[in-house]
Amino acid sequence: MAAGRIGRQIGHRTLMVIAVASLAVGSLLAAPAGAATQLDPPGWTGTAPPTAYIGFTVDDPSPNPIGRTEYEPVTVTRTTNLSGQDLIDAFDNWEELDLEPPTGDVDHWRWPPVWDEPGGVQMTRLDDCDISDDTCRYAVTADGDFFYFAGAIPVDGNGDPLFDLSAYDQTLDLVDLPQITIGTLNAVGTPGVNGAGGTIHLTVAGTNDPADLDPPLTYKWVLVGPRSKIYTSEGTDDFFNVTAEMDGVYCIELTVTASDGIFVETPKCNAGGSTFSITGVAPAKTETPGPTPGGGGGIPGIGFSNPTGRAPATLTGGTPGESATVIWLWRPEWFQGSPATREVPRTDGQPKVTGRADIVVRSPSPKGASAGPWLAGVGIFGLMGGGWVVSRRRRLRMLAEL
């Protein structure tokens, strides 16, 4: 009996070695070049019977994003010839539950709460899937190779594999979660009219949010102008019109926010923001008219006329053959070069400046007899006459009393 048991044990071990060797050869033959790396499922203990096999696949290797933080669930399907206690013993990551009396013992098992492959696929279970269920839904949080198969591929009577291992060769590939992208900023200036300031038209074409949430995006505009003057606007418009008062360099700060609170913004102006230089929008300056001939020039009562041009160098007209005689009608004595000829007016050539002098016109001092003595005599005469009249009236009054 002992020898029989030893023989059976040796035969059993030999069968296990042959099964493992067949699995390795089958994997090499079935796996195409460049395939994902075959891995044992998370929690696999390797204690299953030698003819056992188990593999997992997902229904969608590239799940679509949901909103901006997660992806659509994937359904994991299990294919195995294990069941009952063999299936329970093959893994150590089942969720163990005590749902039936007596308490204190595990009587139910569910699919693993998490699918945790170090450096690879990460998933979280969404449903309460019993160990007997062939499928379970998971939320994917990290992608990677999804080539999970363990055990021996079953063969037919001729030793040929019953299925192609490549059916389990998958790769979970998560697309990037949608993020807001700011389009191209543009600024155009329009001159003002009637002395008013012009307009700066700001636009941001091509801003996109793949999440396509409702309500739409909100745009917060900040325009910093010369002398740190700030213009702001906030709303759903992807443009901003500003009445500008100065030409010069402006800087734009734009923040785009979605209804889920996610936002993206351009660099701040104090950290290399989006700048542009614009001219022609400042209000046009009104020119003050200058003095006109005969119109004053700012000094009331005084008119200015254009200066007379210099005397002509050539005279025309007169009797043919006779030379013209030039007679100057002024005597600028300071132009004369010699005192001997100062009294003789020049009749030829052109005036020549030989010196300059300032002309000061003063009112002449009053001359003749003074009116003071005459006025004094009139005053004395008036006083004496007044005294005589008073004395005369007094004498008449005395005579009347007598």
Q: What is the pTM (predicted TM-score) of this model?
A: 0.52
> Residues 17, 107: one domain?
yes
Domain at 193, CATH number = 2.60.40.10
Q: Do the domain assignments include residue 268?
A: yes
pLDDT tens digits in sequence order for the chain, 402 residues long: 333 333 333 333 333 333 333 333 333 334 444 468 999 999 999 999 999 999 999 999 999 998 888 999 999 999 999 999 999 999 999 999 999 888 889 999 999 999 999 989 999 999 999 999 999 999 999 999 999 999 989 888 898 998 889 999 999 999 988 889 999 999 999 988 887 889 999 999 999 998 888 888 999 999 999 999 999 999 999 999 999 889 999 999 999 999 889 999 999 999 988 999 988 888 876 665 555 554 434 333 333 344 444 444 444 555 555 555 545 455 555 555 555 545 556 666 666 666 666 655 555 555 555 666 667 777 777 778 777 777 777 777 777 766
Q: Do the domain assignments include residue 206?
A: yes
> Residues 74, 193: one domain?
no
Number of domains in the chain: 2
> Residues 93, 238: one domain?
no
Q: Point out the domain boundary residue: 132, 147, 172.
A: 172
Q: Do the domain assignments include residue 395?
A: no
* Domain ranges, residue 200: 184-278
Q: Do the domain assignments include residue 311?
A: no
Q: Point out the domain boundary residue: 212, 245, 278.
A: 278
Q: Point out the domain boundary residue: 172, 206, 224.
A: 172
Q: 254 exposed, middle or buried (CB, 10 Å; 0-12, 13-18, 19+)?
A: buried
> Residues 118, 227: one domain?
no
